[in-house]
Amino acid sequence: MRTWHSMLLCWMVCVAAPGGGREAVAQDFNDSHFHLTNYIQQGLTLRQFLEIMGNRTGRAAVFGIPLQQKWDAFESGTRAPDYYLLSDAELYYYSFVDAMIADAYLHLGPEERARFDPMITGFNPTDMYAIDHIRRVLAMYPGVFTGIGEFTVHKEFVSAKVAGHTASLLNPSLDRILSLAEEVGLVVLLHNDIDTVRPAAGRPAHFDDLKNLLRAHRGASIVWAHTGLGRFVKPGEGHIGLLKELLDSDEYAHVNFDISWDEVAKWIVADETTLAPWVELIEAHSDRFLFGTDTVAPRTQADYLKAFDVYRALWERLAPETAAKVKKGNYERIFDAARARVRAWEARQVRQ
């Protein structure tokens, strides 16, 4: 049975439009994956984003980009790069992004805040002190954050550019981060490519290490971003079977999957031979998939809705009940549970 608190929260989310009012009832989706800022920490205010969301989006998990693209005059001269593929200069972790997200959230009214689930992302996953950053952010901004991420371990063309030690699924600092997420109740939005851009024969390069990590943290609520796919990391012939290894085992019941990003959507809806197995998989595991846009500081609603529109063929093929779960219901279940757990953890810290 749903609690009065969750019913009230659902009502607030369903009816609250940027300016208030009931016209938002027809919202199409909740967004599990949205970047308010870009690789040079520029972007939107949350009020500007509310205008872009309009009546199409109910709620959104919001975060910045944890990495800053360095503007190296010796590398690009007067050309200021605003994306990681526009420069050969390194990326570095930018922890102030969490304060920026919290400040944007706290400038909203209560009904507007109910539509957002801010996420902590400005930590270095190779740093054993990363958990201290997460704890400090929670202590400084109680009542704000619902999860951590999107943060990255292995990512095409990004990992090699990050200053310092390369992130790894085998690094004990990552275990510490996920253990803290278990303790606090934070949703974990993890980006980890399933394979390299130029895969070798056999099992994908990163999949089995990821399985071991996920299995070791069964108390965490984890969302694997893009099911491990990317702009250039495409699904191999056995990709659906690998996802079934997780979906069919109780050891991974705590792991969910977002299908965010238009670059990922292109692999799924390419043609009937790609779409049909995805439809079958999602129908069989309708509680485990979430839609997200993975847009980065969009300027217009059309830019923001691109991924949703690319998935039109998927929405048309899924049963209405399944599509509703992927687009809205699974988000609400996962993030509502996290909100309650994190707020309870914060309250316990105050009493101690």
**Is position 55 within any domain?**
no
Please indicate, yes or no, if residue 259 is contained in any of the structural domains.
Answer: yes
What is the pLDDT at residue 350? Answer: 82
Can you give the chain as a three-state secondary structure string? CCCHHHHHHHHHHHHCCCCCCCHHHHCCEEEEEEECECCCCCECCHHHHHHHHCCCEEEEEEECCCEEECCCHHHHCCCCCCCHHHCCCCEEECCCHHHHHHHHHHCCCHHHHCCEEEEECCCCCCCCCHHHHHHHHHHHCCCCCCEEEEEECCCCCCHHHECCCCCCCCCHHHHHHHHHHHHHCCEEEEECCCCCCCCCCCCCCCHHHHHHHHHCCCCCEEEEEHHHCCCCCCCCCCHHHHHHHHHCCHHHCCEEEECCCHHHHHHHCCCHHHHHHHHHHHHHCCCCEECCCCEECCCCHHHHCHHHHHCHHHHHHCCHHHHHHHHHHHHHHHHHHHHHHHHHHHHHHHHC
Q: What is the pTM of this model?
A: 0.91
Q: Do 188 and 220 form a contact (C-beta atoms < 8 A)?
A: yes
Flag whether 158 is in a domain: yes
Is there a domain that residue 35 lies in? no
Is 261 a member of any domain? yes
As given in the structure block, the two tokens for residue 107 are 């400038």
Scan for tokens 């130029």, then name that residue.
198
pLDDT score for 26: 57
How far from 104 is each of 117, 250, 345, CA to CA, in Å? 12, 39, 23
Residue 18, pLDDT score:
39
Spatial separation of the C-alpha atoms in residues 70 and 83, rounded to whole Å? 10
**Tell me, what's the pLDDT at 290?**
98
CATH at residue 343: 3.20.20.140
Q: Distances from the Cα of 52 to the Cαs of 7, 17, 48, 100, in angstroms?
A: 26, 11, 7, 19
* pLDDT at position 131: 98
Tell me, yes or no, whether 43 lies in a domain.
Answer: no
The reported pLDDT for the residue numbered 169 is 98
State the Cα–Cα distance between residues 44 and 26, nearest whole angstrom: 24
Residue with the two structure tokens 């809205």: 328
Between β-strands 289-290 and 295-296, what pairing exists: parallel, antiparallel or unpaired? unpaired
Count structural domains, the chain.
1
Instruction: Report the C-alpha gap between 307 and 289 in whole angstroms.
Output: 15
In a domain, 249, yes or no: yes
Instruction: Note the pLDDT of residue 85.
Output: 81
State the residue range of the domain holding 203: 122-351
**Per-residue pLDDT at 282:** 98
Residue 264 falls inside a structural domain: yes
pLDDT profile of the chain (352 residues), mean per 10: 40 40 65 97 97 97 97 93 89 97 98 98 98 98 98 93 94 98 98 95 96 98 98 94 98 98 97 97 98 97 97 98 98 98 95 72
Instruction: Give the span between the Cα atoms of 291 and 55, in whole angstroms.
Output: 17
